[in-house]
């Protein structure tokens, strides 16, 4: 059994990691850390765990926990882990970090978009970006795993094959993404009250959302050159789900003609046909978040608009699963040599 | 492997049975029957099953299917199974019926409340009412299992210990229950459109709801005498969940004094402490449907009002799970000798 | 023009009063007070008022405001007004208070249920309980108007005619009420976050909800004797609306026979046929909150259960309108001699 | 009093027109036509109108109605009015049509996108496109008013000033729009059931949505040349609201430098500062549909992304109001010489 600690266990992502690991054959949760609820019973905070988890919320130090477990999941605010992690601690156990602290290789970009100083930039080179389907090999040996963001996972995987194959013009990408409210976390803010969010929709973080440089960096690796794109997130009234709608100009083929549906489809299949958790839908079907809810799936598809010369790519995932917790467990499985689907082979629940 | 057929597989309950059985070690789905979608791929109707179920919807006859499988789940409208089932068919395979057709022992009551004639009353005596925790022993040998209704399961289990122990006045029970919209099924009716249901609440079936006689019959067995009660269901804007709030007059103890919290709590524990799927909450906590959503749990609790002499009992379950599909699988497990939690040990998903 | 001040103008009820008064021919809003947002522009907090209200949030003292306006609406927490109001201030202007401070005549009951001391009990005798349809005459001359609670207005009006006419057994009343989330106010609490409230239902305040004594007091006046009842509120995922389902034992007529539908209907009509804002629905129709949303209407109806001897009465209103703001304006109209429907004759908005 | 008939009165838009006209000083509803509910009382279908509207649903012919009223609102399916309207009928009364029948001047484009033949193309030249703020002068004399679509009104008004002023590159526009479910109408379709729509999001009509040519035509008039754009609508779980997010490349100024915030803002103000129902928000504020719900407002704003050279324009309106009914009444007011805000000066209701 792999011994696990979770820091930030009372946030939505932390609680979801706990839930998934309880169903994992080879994981044993040793510590649940939550600064806000130290000493309280976990089952009193999330009563879905009543009679399931009988632990208290602890405030054990990260250094002490590192000696006691094999891996620590940190579902903590931006800046927490990079401010506290040391090579010494990292020698003792592996880390799967849900924050952006080790996702962006260029410290200057991190510090500019997040507005905080990075205190352990020396660990960045070894950090592995945990987009499982893209970085599987590197993840196997990772000690410090930077789990991708929810918008990011969805946005990247939706466009990845076409960017990789240079089938779209690299700087033409316009990503409009919709998010459920759980992405905003469990903090007590007026803006996230039921009566402020329900029956409404809005864009937010326009031109400034922090997932932008992360998407650009990863799609840049895919393309083999820097990518600049427009990312506009929206908040809509539902619990879970990310839907990314990505419009780009289709490149021309070397002979000057246009790519056909079949050629684009083949590109997607080339990368995803063997992937259990990425489903390229049938022609004409648009991804819907309900059909991935509660699962590790990403559903993607595309439509070509011959009238405009654009392609519209679409992707859907559950922001707390493939966008956070279940991808973290997927990476955990890769890191520790378990079957990749262990503990995360849920079929989406409808309705 | 137990071979399974599902009739009514494209309704919400039927689809949920399919989803649960896919995760069951010892069940194999052979047939998915849906009259409305014959010949269509199941994964096109419920796209959460894309790349998961590759069967078409069939219209195989019940007689033919009975020869090919060990058990048939019927998630069909009232009157379907009783109109078609014969002793002959029943000799060939076991049945788990989600409708009310074999729930009520008294044919006259069935025909009065449902307004339809019963065509196989000769099968009623052997039918077993599938409230697992109450009828576990009888269920083991059942060939014809009448799976309880959603309101019914919740209403009965919430009051069962106190009715059984005569701790409440038997005819004083007022049950107000709230239901999510999935209980209304997947039929295309104006009344169930998003814009008719969302942001509203209403009572319905007042004085006439068909689950009334079913609750009365079962609580009557518990009490050992006929029980008359007031059941008022309500529709509220959420997908899943039943919340029953049950008000009754507390009986006096033989010595004329009142029952204490601890005495009532002991009564609940006497019946439920050993039950994995019934959770009696801590003192002061009210059940919430979100904390059982997607699981086979029923959460119950109670509060005594010394001011009025009443007790308020509360119960929460997921109408598509313990109120339909997962209880059906629980009964399947008991009938076929599997571990009772096999395939239905989901932890509720929050949020 | 009647000059108006609103204290607590950035809560949901306060903002609704502002919205209604902007459409009132004879009211002029002079002050919007909000301790949390002093100096901020009101239109920045509630952007529905952008380019409509150009005032800042003020922190003017109640004494100063009283000199400057004709009436003050206080949409403030329990205890605020009773702790600050003096006979001197009350000589200068009239008050319409949305809190419970002056609703309950018996100080001991107020202090017990609310757990706070009452600092101006000498003003209680002159306070008028603002259930407009019941107390219209007294309201005309009121200087201190105690505007009823949302659950209270709905619960009382639903049963009022039958209690008044002794057609139900006075202590048999079981009230189950459902509330939209706006009733919980705009405070930043985890419990009211979208992801905690949406897709769930729960009872709360069971046996202890503070509206209980208020309902009992008013129905007691109607009956002419003390009334004890069971009141159980529930929270459900919608913005607005109260739905009360009230079960009671029907009294027998003096000759021992049972009341008929027509007799009960006549009782309702006797009190409500002339009331513009109370609609007794047609036989068989259950009130739905969506059909009163955004309006000052209360929709009521009832069904007799001959099988059990009970009557089920139902009422629906919008908790921010007839349950708070629009009833306050209705009372304002009565107090200042305007047409009772001035500013509040909205037709409910569906969907 | 202007005498009014409404055809299609039991759809959501038709009912909203009825509701608005009831509050209009100078309009009198004479006929409510609904093929599906002939002979039924209108208040039984929409119980918000209980005791408010006492008419039955009629099936009077359009020719007969035209003789009896001054104006007919047709809230009917595509193809209805163009298939039945004749010059003769149009001589007798004015028409405000909510469908697309007379919105597109080029019959071939109409027939291609809508897949139906146009039976009265001879009336197209005189039809006036009812985007009030853009076509006010022409609307005054209109006999046949083509009321714009919901996505269309929002999409056009959001980009209009910049397109008119050539401040964006005309063919670079990518419009992603979100719609509440009421836009799908009140037909009994599985796809619009609560349990199919709630807690989910999807794109639909990708590359093929019929509002595309309407937006292109009108923005083409503004620009003075043909415009080709990408329009992708989405369905999200709320009743009302359209949110359009429009990304375009900013043009360079004649001197080769970039437009500043102030220059763009001035362009918006030039067209909208005098418009009561179009609100250009303060710098940095994103439109939210809740802040326009129930009103005739369109809220618009924009953000410049210097990093990408794009501008993101955003617009929000209520699809049943400015996107349908209240804009129809606004046009009615202009056509009949009433104050433009008569009957439609509602302040948005929050929450």
A2-45 pLDDT, tens digit each? 999 999 999 999 999 999 999 999 999 999 999 999 999 999 99
* Banded pLDDT at D80 (limits 50, 70, 90): very high
Region A48-66: what's the mean pLDDT? 97
Which positions in chain A touch B299 (Cβ < 8 Å)? 47, 50
The whole-angstrom distance between residue D76's C-alpha and the CA centroid of its chain comes to 14
C204 touches chain B (CB under 8 A): yes
Region C23-51: what's the mean pLDDT? 97
Instruction: Using alpha carbons, select from C207, C13, A79, D242 the residue that is nearest to residue B313.
Output: C207
* Banded pLDDT at B41 (limits 50, 70, 90): very high
> Which DSSP letter does residue A281 get?
P
* Banded pLDDT at A260 (limits 50, 70, 90): very high
* Banded pLDDT at D181 (limits 50, 70, 90): very high
- Rounded (10°) angle between helices A325-336 and A132-140: 40
Nearest CA in chain D to B199: D239
Structure tokens at B117: 């004639």
Interval D236-295: pLDDT, tens: 999 999 999 999 999 999 999 999 999 999 999 999 999 999 999 999 999 999 999 999
Interval A319-340: pLDDT, tens: 999 999 999 999 999 999 999 9
Interval C233-288: pLDDT, tens: 999 999 999 999 999 999 999 999 999 999 999 999 999 999 999 999 999 999 99
Structure tokens at A242: 């990310």
A181 touches chain C (CB under 8 A): yes
Interval B97-123: pLDDT, tens: 999 999 999 999 999 999 999 999 999
Inter-chain contact B286–C206, Cβ cutoff 8 Å?
Answer: yes
C37 touches chain A (CB under 8 A): no
The dihedral built from the CA positions of residue C113, C115, C117 and C123, taken in this order, carries a sign that is negative
* Banded pLDDT at A342 (limits 50, 70, 90): very high
State the pLDDT at residue B303: 98
C22 touches chain D (CB under 8 A): yes
Inter-chain contact B193–D186, Cβ cutoff 8 Å?
Answer: yes
| CB atoms closer than 10 angstroms to residue B251 | 17
Closest partner CB to B239 (pick from A282, A292, A351) = A351
DSSP string, C320-343: TTTTTHHHHHHHHHHHHT--TTTT
- Catalytically active residues of D are 150
B47 touches chain A (CB under 8 A): yes
The strand order across the sheet containing C298-305 reads C202-203, C230-235, C174-179, C242-249, C310-317, C298-305, C278-280
Nearest CA in chain A to B20: A347
User: Distance from B297 to chain C by nearest Cα, in Å?
Assistant: 15
Task: Report the mean per-residue pLDDT for chain D.
Answer: 98
Region A164-190: what's the mean pLDDT? 97
- Reported ipTM: the value is 0.97
The dihedral built from the CA positions of residue B90, B94, B98 and B102, taken in this order, carries a sign that is positive
Structure tokens at D315: 């617009």
The whole-angstrom distance between residue C216's C-alpha and the CA centroid of its chain comes to 15
State the pLDDT at residue C231: 98
Inter-chain contact C290–D350, Cβ cutoff 8 Å?
Answer: no
> Which DSSP letter does residue C213 get?
H
Task: Report the mean per-residue pLDDT for chain A.
Answer: 98
Domain residue limits, chain A: 2-148+323-336, 151-317
Which positions in chain B touch A295 (Cβ < 8 Å)? 48
d(CA A38, CA A31): 12
State the pLDDT at residue C18: 98
State the pLDDT at residue D94: 98
Percent of chain B topping pLDDT 70: 100
C284 touches chain B (CB under 8 A): no
Q: A196 has which bridge partners? A: none
* Banded pLDDT at A349 (limits 50, 70, 90): very high
State the pLDDT at residue B285: 98
Structure tokens at D242: 């359209």
Region B81-106: what's the mean pLDDT? 98
State the pLDDT at residue D250: 98
D19 touches chain C (CB under 8 A): yes
User: Distance from D323 to chain C by nearest Cα, in Å?
Assistant: 15
Region A127-149: what's the mean pLDDT? 98
A228 touches chain D (CB under 8 A): yes
DSSP-based three-state secondary structure for A56: strand
D178 touches chain A (CB under 8 A): yes
Interval B237-264: pLDDT, tens: 999 999 999 999 999 999 999 999 999 9
Q: D7 has which bridge partners? A: D33, D74
Question: For the domain bounded by A2-148+323-336, which CATH number is listed?
Answer: 3.40.50.720
Interval B154-170: pLDDT, tens: 999 999 999 999 999 99
Per the document, the length of chain C is 351
Question: For the domain bounded by A151-317, which CATH number is listed?
Answer: 3.30.360.10
Residues 6 or more apart whose Cβ sits within 8 Å of residue C143? C90, C94, C95, C126
Instruction: Using alpha carbons, select from A29, A59, A57, A33 the residue that is nearest to residue A45.
Output: A57
Region D308-328: what's the mean pLDDT? 98
Which positions in chain D touch A191 (Cβ < 8 Å)? none
Largest CA distance in chain C: 68
Residue tagged active-site, from A57, A93, A150, A154: A150
Q: A278 has which bridge partners? A: A298
* Banded pLDDT at D25 (limits 50, 70, 90): very high
d(CA B182, CA A351): 7
Which positions in chain D touch C22 (Cβ < 8 Å)? 347
State the pLDDT at residue D173: 98
* Banded pLDDT at B153 (limits 50, 70, 90): very high
Of the residues C12, C182, C347, the best mutation for testing chain D's interface (the one with the most D CB atoms within 10 Å of its CB) is C347
Inter-chain contact B308–C229, Cβ cutoff 8 Å?
Answer: yes
Region D195-223: what's the mean pLDDT? 98
Interval B6-37: pLDDT, tens: 999 999 999 999 999 999 999 999 999 999 99
State the pLDDT at residue A263: 98
Region B38-51: what's the mean pLDDT? 97
DSSP-based three-state secondary structure for B143: coil
Nearest CA in chain B to A239: B351
State the pLDDT at residue D300: 98
| CB atoms closer than 10 angstroms to residue A22 | 16
Among this protein's residues, is A150 annotated catalytic? yes
- Catalytically active residues of C are 150
């Amino acid at each position: 059994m792999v011994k696990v600690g979770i820091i930030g266990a009372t946030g939505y992502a932390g609680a979801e990691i706990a839930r998934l690991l309880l169903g994992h054959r080879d994981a044993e949760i040793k510590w649940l850390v939550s600064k806000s609820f130290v000493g309280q019973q976990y089952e009193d905070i999330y009563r879905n765990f009543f009679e399931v988890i009988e632990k208290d919320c602890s405030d054990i130090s990260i250094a002490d926990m590192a000696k006691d477990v094999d891996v620590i999941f940190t579902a903590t605010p931006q800046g927490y882990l990079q401010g506290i992690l040391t090579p010494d601690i990292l020698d003792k156990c592996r880390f799967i970090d849900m924050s952006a602290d080790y996702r962006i290789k260029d410290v200057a970009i991190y510090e500019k978009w997040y507005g905080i100083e990075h205190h352990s930039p020396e660990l960045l080179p070894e950090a592995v970006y945990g987009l499982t389907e893209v970085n599987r090999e590197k993840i196997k040996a990772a000690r410090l795993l930077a789990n991708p963001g929810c918008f990011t996972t969805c946005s990247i995987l939706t466009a990845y094959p076409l960017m990789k194959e240079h089938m779209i013009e690299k700087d033409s990408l316009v990503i409009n993404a919709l998010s459920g409210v759980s992405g905003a976390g469990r903090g007590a803010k007026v803006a996230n009250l039921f009566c402020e969010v329900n029956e409404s929709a809005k864009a937010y973080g326009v031109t400034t959302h922090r997932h932008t440089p992360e998407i650009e960096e990863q799609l840049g690796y895919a393309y083999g050159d820097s990518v600049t794109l427009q990312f506009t997130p929206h908040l809509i009234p539902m619990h879970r789900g990310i839907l990314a709608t990505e419009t780009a100009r289709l490149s021309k083929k070397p002979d000057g003609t246009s790519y056909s549906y079949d050629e684009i489809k083949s590109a997607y299949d080339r990368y995803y046909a063997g992937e259990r958790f990425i489903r390229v839908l049938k022609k004409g079907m648009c991804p819907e978040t309900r059909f991935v809810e509660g699962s590790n799936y990403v559903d993607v598809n595309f439509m070509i608009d011959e009238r405009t010369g654009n392609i519209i790519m679409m992707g859907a995932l559950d922001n707390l699963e493939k966008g956070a917790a279940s991808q973290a467990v997927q990476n955990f499985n890769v890191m520790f040599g378990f079957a990749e689907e262990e503990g995360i082979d849920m079929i989406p629940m409808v309705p």
